[in-house]
Amino acid sequence: RAKELGGRRVEVFAAQMHADVVRRLELAADLQRALIEHQFAIEYQPVVDLATSRVTAVEALVRWCRGSVFVPPDQFLGPAEDTGLIVPLGEWILREACREVAAWRAESWDIGLSLNLSARQITAPRFVQTVEEALEESGLPACALTLEVIEEMLVDDADETVKRLSELRALGVRLAIDDFGTGYASLAFLRQLPVDMIKIDPSFVSGLGQDDTLTLLTRTIVRLGHDLGLIVVAEGIERPEQLDLLREMGCTRGQGFLVARPMAARGVDSLMRTSLTV
Ligand code: C2E
Ligand code: MG
Ligand code: MG
Ligand code: MG
């Protein structure tokens, strides 16, 4: 009887695994098609200077509508990375976002662009040249581009990754550590990379004013960043209380739903003509 049950379980397991593999293959094929059929779009989330409330930058965030269903980046970036599709996709995002931000700057709006990178993108051949070309084509000055990386990227090919990022920095591009404080080696990471900015993870910001430990940790990260001469950005600001505390701590910049949600380029267009009130 036990054997029978066990066998049944194996069957169910095998069927599930099969379904999983099929789903993954379908996703990979759909991603490939999505790139050809221009199903990807970019949204921009404003980042404000906390002292002046001025929008200083926008972060480009990729969007995918699979048919009429919105698929969150967390669900397709992994498969895009595994299949290598992240390389052409990332290149499209880079060129498109540089072009759009350069157009806003051409209307006398002094904003920067923040762009998320994945590990596979950085180690791909010609990555540095691709960035150079995107800057040249769009006319975006290198100093207006910030590349966001996370420490997990230094797990494989760490030497190559650090080398490429250092080359980019030598061009005048800025580097940011995203999701700062969540990895195992956030502090060690700071020593390996010549960075300009840290972005405090929302898991700290969420507890501001409600959790003493998280509040203290946030304050400590802000101070650490400033002592190192870095720009400190707080991510995931949702409540006014968080914004007040971050201002009081002297955090440089802020980003989050309370400030502004990610929006299509057209939304940024109208933002340029008004201003944010936070
Ligand atoms: P991230 O770079 O840390 O981006 C911030 C994420 O937090 C975005 O999610 C944004 O929509 C969300 N967010 C912003 N403010 C708030 C808030 O106040 N509350 C909450 N709950 N969430 C907020 P999104 O767009 O789903 O992106 C998730 C992650 O996917 C990003 O995290 C980034 O690691 C990655 N990603 C997004 N776009 C790209 C891209 O173009 N290339 C690469 N390589 N990765 C990307
Ligand atoms: Mg980011
Ligand atoms: Mg983040
Ligand atoms: Mg993240």
- pLDDT for res 252: 97
Query: Considering only CA atoms, which residue is closest to atom 25 of ligand 1?
Result: 61
| Cβ-contact 147, 172 below 8 angstroms | no
pLDDT at 253: 98
Which residues of the chain are modeled with pLDDT < 70? Answer: 1-5
pLDDT for residue 8: 79
* Interval between CA 85 and ligand 3 midpoint (Å): 22
Q: Phi first, then psi: what are they for 275, rounded to 5°?
A: -160, 160
b/e map 198-236, b = 16+ CB within 10 Å: bbbbbebbbbbeeeeebbebbbebbebbeeeebbbbbbb
- What are the DSSP E strand ranges found in the chain? 40-49, 55-66, 69-71, 112-116, 145-149, 174-180, 197-200, 231-234, 253-254
Residue 237 CA to ligand 2 center (angstroms) comes to 14
Q: What's the pLDDT score for residue 274?
A: 82
Tell me the best of 116, 200, 233, 276 to mutate to test the pocket of ligand 1, counting ligand atoms within 8 Å of each CB and taking the most: 116
Give the model's pLDDT for residue 13: 80
Ligand 1 environment, Cβ below 6 A: 45, 60-62, 72-74, 77, 90, 93, 116-118, 148, 178-179, 236-238, 256-257, 262
Contacts of 216 (CB under 8 A, 6+ apart): none
106-143 tens-digit pLDDT: 998 999 999 999 999 999 999 999 999 999 999 999 99
Residue nearest to atom 4 of ligand 1 (CA): 61
- Is the complex ipTM higher than 0.90? yes
From the CA of 183, how far away is ligand 2's center (Å)? 15
Query: Which residue lies with its CA nearest to atom 15 of ligand 1?
Result: 256
Question: What is the position in ligand 1's atom list of the atom closest to the CA of 150?
Answer: 34
* Ion ligand 2, residues whose Cβ is below 5 A away: 116, 148, 178
Among candidates 44, 83, 37, 84, which has minimal Cα distance to 62? 44
